[in-house]
Structure 1
Amino acid sequence: MKALVTGAQGTIGARLCEDLVRQGVEVVRWPRERVPVDDYWAMERFVREVAPDVLFHLATASRPTGRPNESWLVNYEWTSELAWICRQVGVRFVFTSTTMVFTPRAGGPFTVDSVPDAAEGYGYEKRRAEERIFQQNPEARVARLGWQIDRRPEGNTMLASLEAQARERGFVEASTRWFPACAFLDDTVRALLALVWTEPGLYLLDANERWSFHDIVRALNDTRASPWRVEPSEHFVFDQRMVDDRVVLPSLRARLPTLP
């Protein structure tokens, strides 16, 4: 098996590549510096040359280069072209979206039938990309993800954010009224790998059954040698959880046994 991966240096992409290599999969990382994301024919030639079995599209506009409308170009237009190319050349296409396609006005828990309402920013771009993917490639798999949790405080993970907040403010503020969509990074990666062989469609990857952000932060704090000072608040109110019985992720409690 051969996998082509965009966003291979990101939080999820790097771990996904590690897992693929461990399983004996040949991994090719998309070279943006050599294959521009706005040159359709260069992209199609590259995909045909690599001839992957699956393309995991995880990249976002996280490293701006100053190009006009770069976020839209990367999050929407590049996604649209890759979905179409994969359809033309017969490559399975797996795209990672986000629970941010919903705003607090919508109110979860969300299912595959919930209608996204993000009208601007990153969530809007991802929402429009989801719609476009299924127009371009009905055989695609789209996975909406929440915030990733890892034991290492690195990358764009919950633990890294909490560590930074503790350093800057001397404490961690955690809302008792926010129920975030989230999962442990290793579990998300395993689920993405499994999606390659599932039926095409939209999938929701969330391991939070019922816990508030405050609950989760306190449980993470219990695993630390040098605990943070955790301050409860009600500053963010949002049930962001996603429910999808077709995708079974280990519950957060399996990873954080002190959750209430």
Structure 2
Amino acid sequence: MKAIVTGANGTVGSRLCEDLERHGVEVVRWDRGSVPVDDYWAMEGFVRSVAPDVLFHLAIASRSTGRSNESWLINYEWTSELAWMTRQLGVRFVFSSTAMVFSNNARGPFTVDSEPEAPEGYGYEKRRAEERVFQQNPEARVARLGWQIDARPSGNNMLAALETQMREKGRVEASTRWLPACSFLDDTVRALQALAWAEPGLYMLDANERWSYYEIVRALNERHGGHWNVEPTEHFVFDQRMMDDRVVLPSLKARLPGLR
């Protein structure tokens, strides 16, 4: 099996590449410096030359190069072109979206029937990209992801954010009224691979059954040495959980026994 992965240096992409290779998959990482994302024929030529079985599109506009409308180009236009291209070439297409397609004013928990309504920014670009993907490629798989949790405090995962907050503020503030969409990174990576062979459609990957951000942070603190000063707040009120019975991720409690 052969796979192309965009966003291969990111939090999810780098771990996905590691896991695919560990299972004997030939992985080709998309290098935007070599294959420009605004040149359709260059992109199609690259995909044809690789002849992958699946293309995992995980890239976002995380590092600005100063181009005009760069975020829209990466999050929407590139996604649209890849969806069409994979349809024409018979390549399975897995696109990673986000729980942020729902604004903080929406009322969760969300299901696949909940209407995303993020009015601006990253969430807006991703929800528009979701729509475009299915217009361009009805056989695509779209996976909405929550915040990733990992044992390594790197990238933009939850542990890294908590370590940074503790270092900069001397405390970690965590809302007791926010139920975040989240899952452990290794579980997310395995689910993404499984989705490549699932029925086409929209999926939501979230392992949080019922716990607040404060409860999750407290359990993580217990697991990682207890050196954070965790303070409960009520400053952010939002049920962001995503419910999808077709995707079975290990519960957070299975990964964090400290959860009550």
Same fold (TM over 0.5): yes
Residue 52 of structure 2 corresponds to residue 25 of structure 1: no
Q: Unmatched 5+ residue regions in structure 1?
A: none
Task: Map 1:1-260 onto structure 2 (within 5 A).
Answer: 1-260=1-260
* Structure 2 counterpart of 1:224, one-letter code: H
Distance 1:54 1:238 in 2: 35
User: CA offsets per residue over residues 221-259 of structure 1, 9 Å max, x none?
Assistant: 001225201000011110000000000000000000110
> What's the CA shift for 1:106?
1.2
TM-score (norm 2): 0.99
User: CA offsets per residue over residues 158-187 of structure 1, 9 Å max, x none?
Assistant: 000000000000000000000000000000
* Structure 2 counterpart of 1:232, one-letter code: P
User: CA offsets per residue over residues 166-215 of structure 1, 9 Å max, x none?
Assistant: 00000000000000000000000000000011000000000000000000
Q: Please tell me whether the aligned partners of residues 223 and 258 of structure 2 are also in contact (alpha carbons under 8 angstroms).
A: no
Q: 1:82 is paired with a residue of what secondary structure?
A: helix
* Structure 1 counterpart of 2:3, one-letter code: A
User: CA offsets per residue over residues 13-65 of structure 1, 9 Å max, x none?
Assistant: 00000000000000000010011000011001110011000000000000110
* Structure 2 counterpart of 1:178, one-letter code: W
Q: 1:84 is paired with a residue of what secondary structure?
A: helix
User: CA offsets per residue over residues 68-100 of structure 1, 9 Å max, x none?
Assistant: 000000000000000000000000000000000
Distance 1:224 1:35 in 2: 41
Q: 1:143 is paired with a residue of what secondary structure?
A: strand
Q: 1:100 is paired with a residue of what secondary structure?
A: helix
Q: Unmatched 5+ residue regions in structure 2?
A: none
Distance 1:174 1:223 in 2: 17
Measured on the aligned residues, the alpha-carbon RMSD in Å equals 0.5
Q: 2:223 is paired with a residue of what secondary structure?
A: coil
* Structure 1 counterpart of 2:128, one-letter code: R
> What's the CA shift for 1:105?
1.6
Distance 1:258 1:223 in 2: 8
Aligned residues: 260
User: CA offsets per residue over residues 80-126 of structure 1, 9 Å max, x none?
Assistant: 00000000000000000000000122110000000001010000000
Identity of aligned residues (%): 78
Distance 2:176 2:210 in 1: 12
Distance 1:226 1:141 in 2: 39
